[in-house]
């Protein structure tokens, strides 16, 4: 069984999860730069590896193909990080935490932080959804439906950070504060922060 092995020290492997438009990549980069950690965006890794965009992958091969590639990419990344003992921030696409294998790897090897943002703000950030393969039809309804499906998985995170009333600096600071907490405080419960 994989285990979270930094029980008495601050966590140096963190995964940001949440819906599209929450700022996982943006804040992941900011926090990683601030702490001197490496930053990995799973969607970017997939695009570089397959030399195409996520949207094109969905169009040409469908969601099941993409989810399989995503699962394999997460697994490869987690084991690379573990092997190299890297200090990292990982940004996972909105549906990347749905897969049980990926979820267990991330929960056991990293501190998982759910960046939670209200639907009305996500809708504004996503715009018309043209670059988002999971958005079909009405953007607000699509986001609501996706969030409804994903909330049960997101709720398995170690920490939930409500971002909507916070500035960019406050969000970055709160993530850094969560990273510095001793990991034994994250066992078996979600903490709102």
Over residues 148-184, the pLDDT tens digits come to 999 999 999 999 999 989 999 999 999 998 888 654 4
How high is the pLDDT of residue 113? 95
Over residues 30-61, the pLDDT tens digits come to 999 999 999 999 999 999 999 999 889 988 99
- Would you say 28 and 111 are in contact if contact means Cβ atoms under 8 Å apart? no
Q: Is the pLDDT of residue 104 over 70?
A: yes
**CA terminus-to-terminus distance, the chain:** 29
Over the range 77-107, which residues count as b (16 or more CB within 10 Å of their CB) and which as e? bbeebeeeeebbbbbbbbbbbbbeebbebbb
Q: In which band, very low, low, confident or very high, does the pLDDT at 126 lie, cut at 50, 70 and 90?
A: confident
Contacts with 123 (C-beta within 8 Å, 6 or more apart), sequence order: 139, 140, 143
Does the pTM surpass 0.75? The reply is yes
Is 183 part of a structural domain of the chain? yes
Question: Domains in the chain: how many in total?
Answer: 1
Q: In the 8-state DSSP scheme, what is residue 12?
A: -
Is 180 part of a structural domain of the chain? yes
Give the domain CATH number at 164.
3.40.50.300
Report the mean per-residue pLDDT for the chain: 85
Share of the chain above pLDDT 70, in %: 82
Is 147 part of a structural domain of the chain? yes
Is 5 part of a structural domain of the chain? no
**Highest-confidence range of 18-22, 104-108, 140-144, 179-183, by mean pLDDT?**
104-108
- Would you say 116 and 165 are in contact if contact means Cβ atoms under 8 Å apart? no
Q: Which residues pair with 40 in a beta bridge?
A: 90
How high is the pLDDT of residue 138? 77
Is 129 part of a structural domain of the chain? yes
Distances (CA, A) of 49 to 54, 61, 72: 11, 15, 12
Q: Is the pLDDT of residue 88 over 80?
A: yes
Structural domain that includes position 162 = 13-192
Is 3 part of a structural domain of the chain? no
Cβ atoms within 10 Å of 173's Cβ, excluding its own: 14
Is 6 part of a structural domain of the chain? no
Is 67 part of a structural domain of the chain? yes
């Amino acid at each position: 069984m994989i285990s979270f092995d930094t029980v008495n020290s601050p966590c140096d492997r963190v995964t940001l999860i949440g819906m599209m438009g929450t700022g996982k990549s943006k804040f992941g980069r900011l926090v990683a730069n601030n702490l001197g950690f490496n930053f990995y965006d799973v969607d970017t890794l997939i695009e570089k590896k397959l030399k195409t965009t996520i949207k094109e992958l969905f169009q040409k091969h469908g969601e099941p193909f993409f989810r399989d590639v995503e699962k394999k990419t997460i697994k490869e990344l987690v084991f690379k990080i573990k092997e190299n003992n890297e200090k990292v921030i990982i940004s996972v696409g909105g549906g990347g935490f749905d897969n049980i294998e990926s979820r267990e790897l991330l929960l056991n090897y990293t501190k998982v932080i759910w960046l939670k943002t209200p639907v009305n703000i996500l809708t504004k950030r996503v715009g018309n959804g043209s670059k988002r393969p999971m958005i079909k039809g009405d953007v607000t309804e699509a986001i609501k439906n996706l969030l409804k499906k994903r909330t049960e998985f997101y709720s398995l995170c170690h920490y939930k950070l409500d971002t909507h009333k916070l500035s960019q600096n406050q969000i970055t600071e709160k993530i850094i504060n969560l990273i510095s907490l001793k990991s034994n405080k994250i066992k078996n419960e979600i903490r709102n922060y």
